[in-house]
Amino acid sequence: MTKGRFGIHGGQYVPETLMHALEELEAAYTHYKEDPAFQEELTTLLKEYANRPSPLYFAKRMSEDLKGAKIYLKREDLNHTGAHKINNVLGQALLAKKMGKKRLIAETGAGQHGVATATAAALFGMECVIYMGQEDIVRQALNVYKMKLLGAEVVSVTSGTATLKDAVNEAMREWTRRIEDTHYCLGSVMGPHPFPSMVRDFQAIISKESKEQILEKEARMPDAIIACVGGGSNAIGSFYHYIDEKEVELIGAEAAGRGIDINETAATMAVGKLGIFHGMKSYFCQDEKGQIAPVYSISAGLDYPGIGPEHAHLADQGRAKYVPIKDDEALEAFQYVSKIEGIIPAIESAHALAYVKKLAPTLGKDKVLVVTVSGRGDKDCAALARYQGEEIYE
Amino acid sequence: MSKAFIPYIMCGDPDLETSEKLIASLVEAGADAIELGIPFSDPVAEGPVIQAASSRALQQNVDANALFSLVEKVRKTYTIPLYVMTYSNVVFAYGIEKFVQRMQEVGLQGLILPDVPYEEKEEFDAICRKYQIDLISLITLTSSSRLEKIAKKARGFLYCVSSLGITGTRASLHEEIFDVIEQARDYTPIPCLIGFGISNAQQARQMARKSDGIIIGSAIVQLCEKYGREAPEPVHLFAKSIKEALTM
């Protein structure tokens, strides 16, 4: 088997022009991963700049209200820039800097990864260009403003469906044009090797912390970990240190959009099949001829037709399970958690919370769930208000 | 003596009937082989011109089977070597073996998959070898350290990418690719053809100077976009001017 495989998934399906850059990246990452000075620098940044460790918060009112399992929230929403994305971006930007790159490019869907990348570029004094689908630019105007404020150029992508997958296409095209001084800061556990492993390593801090935190609070392993899945970076980060703890159930909540039985969905595990796209073999939403399907979700961050190769492998093995959550269920959870806990979650994270809302009441009070609140919902308020027919000015 | 000229067209742009006429006009103009594109929803190695052609062809529901029927028709008249250019997921979804077997049945010579580098080629190449189909290898300005292994296993011809980036016409072309070709010749006797960015007779002549020929895509697809069903005539004239420039 070729490099970077998770079972049959993964690999490096990219144009020859990019192979040298991937080899260079892999060599640098392999070196710095074991370099104590690099790790120390990253740890300090995560602590002092990004506000880690993120708290593991016992959601007392939610647990009481749902009359079942104890629910803990892993508060990635409290990170600097408001989501888990910063964990990966600080790692990659620091690595790019060590490699002598002067420029960061990235794709973004909801804008969270774009904001995080623009932030890291500002921090390290690097140039930054963010590729964002035209559709998403409209849905996420506040994040577009933030990226510009941070000094990044935001390129509107109009090709294809003008959403996240097209932003990835355009960022990859730009990378092939300019690989010498540019690092492509991919935002999820997807794409060609070494990205799925490298991004997972940077996000694994979520489960490294949560494991210590839950042991301290409950003196035992949780019964299940729940996280939302688009490409799957916060989910793999939330799962990683529990993969070998076989008694811990791993559950990814996918965006079902308007439903998996109609063609307006982004739930790859529910409707996708094996294919090759964006540099990797994995499951993708596609038609019978291999054309990548337009996907839909209320959440711009989960609106992606594929899933990271490690998730595909965890699913094949039956180690993790993936459940589809509809727009309306996510929206309801978004409002519910806001009211009952005083925490406004990102609409992406609300997919995971929606599943917890269904799961917790079916479990006994002795059960413990850890759900990752991958980001905060400020960015979603205007769009969700519009969705419900209320016009507000940002 | 003339250097080789391989033009590219997107199948079904603007429709399959015109594609058939375009193939005839290219053969008559002296093309040495033709690349036929099967559209893909997300062609990451293509610039805006071929991206747009992909979308037009997809709107016509052009797929692998449409290409195979087109080639069956063309084969009644012409023996010119024909290559398929598409993306790996189109072949994978069809079934790699089924796809390659159909290629052999209808008389196609080779397969170009720009998103399959050396590292991933065996999955496709093992089957291609079984059916005597050439899976074409690409080399680029960034291939230097990889050149030996790529060139040694290359079959058919070596597709030498003129410049960094994606397909599309370029105002000027650098000659750095000549060094890469020179190195590659130490490892393989097969022809080295330069593609990406070549859009006129002068550039064709420049690039053919130290290679065995050239490939032109976007400049021809632009004519197809501009003239639609009337494209065979201007494409013929353009191809003829290129072939003449290559005859030295």
Domain identity same for A56 and A127: no
Best residue of A173, A280, A284 to probe chain B, by most B CBs closer than 10 Å: A173
Nearest CA in chain B to A8: B123
Maximum alpha-carbon separation in chain A: 57
Structurally, how many domains does chain B consist of?
A: 1
pLDDT at position A27 over 70: yes
Binned at pLDDT 50, 70 and 90, residue A301 comes out as confident
Q: Is residue B191 part of a domain?
A: yes
Domain end, chosen from A155, A180, A199, is at: A199
A361–B contact, CB cutoff 8 A: no
pLDDT of residue B164: 85
What's the mean pLDDT in A56-70? 98
Identify the pLDDT of residue A368. 98
Flag whether residue B248 sits within 8 Å of chain A, measured between CB atoms: no
| B159 to chain A: closest CA residue | A16
Mark yes or no for CB contact B42/A13 under 8 Å. no
Q: Would you place residue A46 in the very low, low, confident or very high pLDDT band (cuts 50, 70, 90)? A: very high
Cis-peptide, bond into residue B14, ω within 30° of zero: yes
Per-window interface: A 140-169 vs B, CB < 8 A: 159-160, 165-166, 169
Would residue A351 count as lying in a domain? yes
CA end-to-end span of chain A, whole Å?
51
The span from the CA of B108 to the CA of B80, in Å, is 9
Would B31 be classed as within a structural domain?
yes
Of A160, A176, A199, which marks where a domain is finished?
A199
Provide the token pair at B67.
Answer: 């290409």
A-chain residues near B47 (CB < 8 A): 173
Using CA coordinates, name the residue in chain B closest to A284.
B89
Residue B77 placed within a domain: yes
Is there a single domain that holds both residue A40 and residue A72? no
Identify whether B179 is part of a domain. yes
Please indicate, yes or no, if residue A242 is contained in any of the structural domains.
yes
Q: Are residues A69 and A41 in the same domain?
A: no
- Please enumerate in sequence order all residues whose Cβ is within 8 A of that of A235, keeping only pairs 6 or more positions apart, or say none: A227, A228, A229, A252, A311, A372
* Cα of A18 to nearest chain B Cα, Å: 8
In terms of Cα–Cα distance, which of A188, A176, A224 is closest to A370? A224
Claim to verify: residue A64 and residue A211 sit in the same structural domain? yes
Among chain A residues, the shortest Cα distance to B167 is held by: A173
The nearest alpha carbon in chain B to A283 belongs to B89
pLDDT (average), residues A366-389: 92
Mean pLDDT to the nearest integer, A172-200: 95
Residues A238 and A340 in one domain: yes
Closest residue in chain B to residue A10, using alpha carbons only = B120
One of B17, B46, B123, B233 is an active-site residue; which one?
B46
Q: Are residues A251 and A373 in the same domain?
A: yes
CA-wise closest residue to B159 among B92, B120, B213, B197: B213
**The model scores a pTM over 0.80:** yes
- The residue from B35, B97, B175, B230 that is catalytic is B35
ipTM of the assembly?
0.96
User: Is the CB of residue B161 less than 8 Å away from at least one CB of chain A?
Assistant: yes
A12 within a domain of the structure (yes/no): yes
Closest partner CB to A288 (pick from B93, B161, B164): B93
CA-based nearest residue to A66, from A371, A282, A378: A371
Does the distance separating the beta carbons of B120 and A12 come in below 8 Å?
A: yes
pLDDT tens readout for residues B186-217: 999 999 999 999 999 999 999 999 999 999 99
User: What's residue A338's pLDDT?
Assistant: 98
Asked about B28 being catalytic, the answer comes back as no
CA B90, B92, B94, B100 torsion-angle sign: positive
Q: Is A374 a catalytic residue?
A: yes
Taking contacts as CB-CB distances below 8 angstroms, the residues of chain A near B92 are 274-276, 290
Say what the pLDDT of residue B168 is: 80
- What distance lies between CA A274 and its chain's CA centroid? 21
pLDDT greater than 70 at residue A1: no
- Please give the average per-residue pLDDT across A276-301, as a whole number: 94
End-of-domain residue from the set A199, A226, A261: A199
Per-residue model confidence (pLDDT) at position A382: 84
Interface contacts (A, B; CB < 8 Å): 115
pLDDT at residue A279 greater than cutoff 80: yes
Is residue A54 part of the annotated active site? The answer reads: no
A65 plus A163 within the same structural domain: no
For residue A394, tell me if it sits in a domain.
no
Mean of per-residue pLDDT scores for chain A: 95
CATH number of the domain to which B116 belongs: 3.20.20.70
Tell whether B118 is within 8 A of chain A (Cβ): yes
Query: What residues of chain B score a pLDDT lower than 70?
Result: 248
Peptide bond into A196 cis (omega under 30): no
Look at the alpha carbons of B155, B160, B164, B165 in this order and tell me if their dihedral is positive or negative: negative
Supply the pLDDT for residue B104.
98
Same domain, A294 and A212: yes
The answer as to whether B246 is a domain residue is: no
Across the beta sheet with B158-161, the strand order is B134-135, B110-112, B82-85, B34-37, B4-10, B213-216, B192-195, B158-161, B137-139
Task: List chain B residues with CB under 8 Å of A16.
Answer: 114, 117-118, 138-140, 142-143, 146, 150, 161
Domain presence at residue B248: no
Residue B147 within a domain: yes
Which structure tokens are listed for A192?
């060609």
**Measured between beta carbons, which residues in chain A are less than 8 angstroms from residue B102?**
none
At A126-145, the pLDDT tens digits run: 999 999 999 889 878 889 99
Within a domain: residue A393?
no
Tell me, yes or no, whether A320 and A171 share the same domain.
no
Residue B5 phi/psi, 5° resolution? -125, 120
The CA distance from B200 to A145, in Å, is 43
Q: What is the pLDDT of residue B146?
A: 95
Alpha-carbon distance B37 to B91, whole Å?
Answer: 12
Mean pLDDT along residues A334-344: 98
B41, B44, B165 member nearest A291 (Cβ) = B41
* Predicted local distance difference test score (pLDDT) of residue B248: 67
CB contact under 8 A, B120 and A11: yes
Letter for the amino acid at A273? Answer: K
Structural domains of chain A, count:
2
Residues A264 and A145 in one domain: no
* CATH number of A35's domain: 3.40.50.1100
Total Cβ atoms within 10 A of residue A361: 12
Residue A186: inside a domain, yes or no? yes
- Check whether residue A141 and residue A264 sit in a common domain: no
Asked if B94 reaches chain A (Cβ–Cβ under 8 Å), the answer is yes
Q: How confident is the model at residue A385 (pLDDT cuts 50, 70, 90)?
A: confident
Tokens of A155: 């390129």
- On whether any CB of chain B is under 8 Å from the CB of A3, the answer is yes
Cβ of A178 within 8 Å of Cβ of B164? The answer is yes
Show residues of chain B in contact with A277, CB under 8 Å: 42, 89
Q: Among A15, A193, A277, which residue's Cα sits nearest to residue B46?
A: A15
Q: Is A279 on the interface with B (CB under 8 A)?
A: yes
Instruction: Assess if residue A392 is contained within a domain.
Output: no
Q: Which structural domain, as residue segments, surrounds residue B147? A: 4-241
Write out the residue range of the structural domain in which residue A68 sits: 51-82+204-387
pLDDT at A263: 79
Residues from chain A contacting residue B45 (CB–CB below 8 Å):
15, 173, 176
**Closest chain A residue to B91, measured at CA:** A290
Residue B116 · residue A15 · CB < 8 Å: no
Q: List CB contacts (< 8 A) between B94 and chain A.
A: 289-290
Q: Is B135 contained in some domain?
A: yes
Catalytic residue among A85, A101, A146, A326: A85
Q: Are residues A58 and A149 in the same domain?
A: no
Picking from B44, B120, B142, the nearest residue to A2 by CB comes out as B120
Return the SS3 of B150: helix
DSSP state at residue B38: P
What pLDDT sits at residue B97? Answer: 98
Task: Judge: B63–A3 Cβ closer than 8 Å, yes or no.
Answer: no
